[in-house]
Amino acid sequence: MKQSGECPKCGSRNVSCKDLYIPMYPYRALVVARQTTPLFSESSPLDVYICGECGFLEMYARTPSQLIPKPKSSE
């Protein structure tokens, strides 16, 4: 869907990328996060691809490298 612009469920090309917001005030974009310490986390906004025909959606982390722990160097 992200690459092809086509819905994998119904084959429609009526696909759009939107930000997804939590319906409360103040509106905040939905993010995915990884806890790094008890007080801090790394997060990434989500890109949401929605089919305008069947309603199927896919979500992708906009900055996935922030969510994956960095490998520890073996020195």
Q: What is the CA radius of gyration of the chain?
A: 16
The answer to the question of residue 5 being in a domain is: no
Residues 6+ apart with CB under 8 A from 33: 41, 42, 43, 44, 67
The reply to whether 38 falls in a domain is: yes
- Indicate the residue type of 75: E
Domain total of the chain: 1
Containing structural domain, residue 29: 15-66
Q: How do the pLDDT tens digits run along the chain, 75 residues long? A: 889 999 999 999 999 987 766 666 666 666 677 777 776 677 788 888 999 999 999 988 888 887 777 777 765
Instruction: Report pLDDT for 56.
Output: 95
Rounded CA-CA distance 72/14 in Å is 43
